[in-house]
Chains A and B, each alone.
Chain A
Amino acid sequence: MHRLTTLLSGIFLVFLTSWLGLVAYPALHLGRLTPVPDPDNGGSFPPTYGGQAIAGQRVYATEGCISCHSQQVRQSSVTTSDVDRGWGLRPSVARDYLRDSTAFLGSRRLGQDLSNVGVRRPDAKWHLIHLYHPSAVCEGSVMPCFSHLFLIRKIQGQPSDEALNLTGDDAPKEGYEVVPTAEAKNLVAYLLALRHDYPLPEAPVKKNGAAK
Chain B
Amino acid sequence: MCKLPQRCLLTGLVSLFVFSLVSASALPTAELIYQVGKKESSQASVIGKISDWLFGAKNNEDNFTMISGVAVDSADNIYLADTEKGRIVALNPQGKALARKDIGAGILKSPLGVALDRQGNIYVTDSALNQLLVFNSSGDVILAKSGADAKGGGLLRPSGVLVDKLSGRIIVSDTGNHRLQVYDQAGKFLSFIGQAGTREGDLNFPTFLAQDKNGNLYIVDTINCRVQVFDPNFKFIGKFGNSGDAMGSFGRPKGIAIDSDNRIYITDSFFNGVVVFDEAKKPVLFFSGSADNKTSLSAPMGVAVNSRGELIVADSRNNRLDVFRINW
Do A and B interact with each other, yes or no? Answer: no
